[in-house]
Structure formats: structure tokens, C-alpha cells
Structure 1
Amino acid sequence: MSVARATFSRLSPKTSALFLCDMQEKFRNNICYFPQIVEVSRRLFEAAKILDMKVIATEQYPKGLGHTVPELGLNGSSVPIIEKTKFSMCVPPVEDHLGSEIKTIILCGIESHVCVYHTALDLLAKGFAVHVVVDAASSRSMVDRKYAFKQMNKAGAVMTTSECVILGLVGDAAHPKFREVQKLIIKPAPDTGLLTFEKANL
């Protein structure tokens, strides 16, 4: 068993952090299923807020690519938004915000084959368990998106869905905040094109 595989763990709000990677204005018209990816990521952010989880966001070269889109819901929140140029969220200011309790990262954003991919590899190398939310991560190309997921899975990251993550964080219908969280998933997550793409390329 590889080191990366050995770090797999169930999700817990106390030991998990949500990473929101580079969902910025200039990507709006270029990323496959961008509105849906942002909406699914917003659900994850809302769940994280309800469960008092740590959340960290980044912006890739915002001078050129703009700032985080408002519909993600970060405006007015206490979420740190870290500027970067590296193709990974693993930069010192992000690591400074993590703290020692965090063992698992829930990762979403763009692009799947660039910053999400390199973030996952960096986190795995540092011993974190990484859960990549496939319906909350995308690229300009569906081919890049598909094979990024395959590569991250092979490297040891867990490929998962937003509803699996949200319910996994609660863990029990008896959880005191289950009803609040349940409201986020009563309506199914929007289609982000994964099954359509798979069927078209069988």
C-alpha cells in the first residue's frame, strides 16, 4: 500500500478543510459547466459553514484573471482568499492557515488538470488525505478534466461527489445539524456533464 493510499480516512468536520481553488471571473466563459461547478462548490461552502469547518480559497494571478466570482458566496465571509501564481494551492500562506488538526482536504475548483491536480499531488506528498469533488471541479476541456481525475485517483486521491462529501461530514441523521445540511441537498446537484461526456466517448 502506498503512503498516499494509507492516508485515506472518513470525513470529519474537525479534521477536514475545504479548499476552493481559483473560481475567478476570467474563467467564467471558458470553463466547462462553470455555473454548475460554482453552484456545487457553493453548496459545499454552505455545508462547511454550518459545520464550522475551516475553508480556504485562492486566486491565481487576480491582476490578470480577476477575483473570485460573487455567486460562490465568499463576500462578507471570514474565508481567507490567498493570491498566488504557483499552479498549486500549497503555498506558505495557505499552509499557515491550516493548523495541525487538519488531516483531510476536500478539494474543488479549477482547473482540474492544472491547479487542482498539482494541489492534490502536493497535499498527498505532505501526507494529507485528499477528496477531490468531481462535480465541483472542471477545466476548459472535458478531456483534460477526465484524465486529471484519473491521474489524481491513481496518485491516491479519493474521487467523490458533493452529496457524498456533505453527508459524509454529517455521518448520522441524528447529528444536531443534519436538518440544516439536508436542506442543501434536497434538490439534486446540477449536472456538470460527466456522464454525458462518458456516454459520448464510449
Structure 2
Amino acid sequence: MAPEPPQQRLAKHLDIPIVATTQNAARLGDTVKEIVSQLPEKHLLHDKTLFSMLTPTVQEALQPNTSVIIVGIETHICVTQTTLDALAAGHKVYVLADGVSSCNKEERGIALDRLRAEGAVVTSSESIM
């Protein structure tokens, strides 16, 4: 079994809710079992077909004007759309630079620069802890 990511361990320890989404599981597959098996008992795992994870189901789970920490893949697509939607909804958004990735490595830096310019705090896992 893969080691538990430190961000996830911290969230469990501080009883911070974890919301995880899968992008169109019917076509692209489920979230890998190594991640799902390490989620705390109180978590939301939601399938979506939009690029943003702020679906109505996820929005209901988030309290208004809270801080959210975002990690994920395809920084230039799903992470970007989620961050922009969360900012528009009034959340304080932290994007963990060491917790995001893209298939094309050039896209990651471009997306992080854009998110910083849009008002997200781009930081590292160690800094957030």
C-alpha cells in the first residue's frame, strides 16, 4: 500500500473534511483504490462530468466562505476550473504546488501563474502545515 500523503494525514488529524472527485468514472475509470482506501470515514467521493469539482453536491458539502485546499491532476483543466469556481463562490483558495500535476509539465507552471494572478494562494504542502 502506498504511504498516506501528508496533506491527507493532516486533514484526518485535524478533522478537516476531505472531498474527492473522479472525472467521468464511466469513461475514464474510478479513483484508484490506493487513494480511496486511505480516505477518512467522513469524506465525500463524488463522480463528475464537469471540469470543476464544484458540482451542486460538492457545494452543499462546503460551508460558505471557508478556506479550501486543492490538490489534483490536470492543473490546467480541472484544478484551474475548480479554483476559479471556488474563488467566485467566496472561498479562500490554497493550491498546493507540490500536490498538482499535468500530463504536459509546461501546463502546470502556466496554470499556477494564472491561479496566483486570479487570487488563489499557491503554496506548498509543508507551508500549509
TM-score (structure 1 length as normaliser) = 0.59
Give the equivalent residue in structure 2 for 1:128: 91
The alignment partner of 2:95 has SS state of strand
Q: What does the per-residue CA deviation read over 1:122-162, in whole Å, with 9 as the maximum and x for residues that have no partner?
A: 11111111000000000001111110001000101011000
What pairs with 1:25-104 in structure 2 (closer than 5 Å)? 42-72=5-35, 73-74=37-38, 77-100=41-64, 103-104=66-67
The amino acid of 1:111's aligned partner reads E
TM-score (structure 2 length as normaliser) = 0.90
User: 5+ unaligned residues in a row in structure 2: which ranges?
Assistant: none
- Do the aligned partners of residues 43 and 151 (structure 1) sit closer, same or farther apart at CA in structure 2, a change above 3 Å counting? same
User: 5+ unaligned residues in a row in structure 1: which ranges?
Assistant: 1-37, 167-202
Q: What does the per-residue CA deviation read over 1:65-102, in whole Å, with 9 as the maximum and x for residues that have no partner?
A: 111122224457331101100010111000111134x5
Q: Runs of at least 4 residues of structure 1 off by over 4 A?
A: none
What pairs with 1:1-202 in structure 2 (closer than 5 Å)? 42-72=5-35, 73-74=37-38, 77-100=41-64, 103-166=66-129
The amino acid of 2:110's aligned partner reads Y
User: What is the alpha-carbon distance in structure 2 between the residues aligned to residue 75 and residue 55 of structure 1?
Assistant: 8
The alignment partner of 1:68 has SS state of coil
User: What is the alpha-carbon distance in structure 2 between the residues aligned to residue 92 and residue 62 of structure 1?
Assistant: 18
- Do the aligned partners of residues 90 and 76 (structure 1) sit closer, same or farther apart at CA in structure 2, a change above 3 Å counting? closer
- Do the aligned partners of residues 76 and 48 (structure 1) sit closer, same or farther apart at CA in structure 2, a change above 3 Å counting? closer
Greater strand proportion? 2
Identity %: 36
Aligned residues: 127
**Greater relative contact order (CA < 8 Å, ≥ 6 in sequence):** 1
CA shift at 1:59, angstroms?
0.5
User: What is the alpha-carbon distance in structure 1 between the residues aligned to residue 39 and residue 17 of structure 2?
Assistant: 16
The alignment partner of 2:43 has SS state of coil
The answer to whether the Cα contact below 8 Å between 2:51 and 2:82 also exists between their aligned partners in 1 is yes
CA shift at 1:64, angstroms?
1.5
The alignment partner of 2:47 has SS state of strand
RMSD of aligned Cα (Å): 1.8
User: What is the alpha-carbon distance in structure 2 between the residues aligned to residue 42 and residue 83 of structure 1?
Assistant: 21
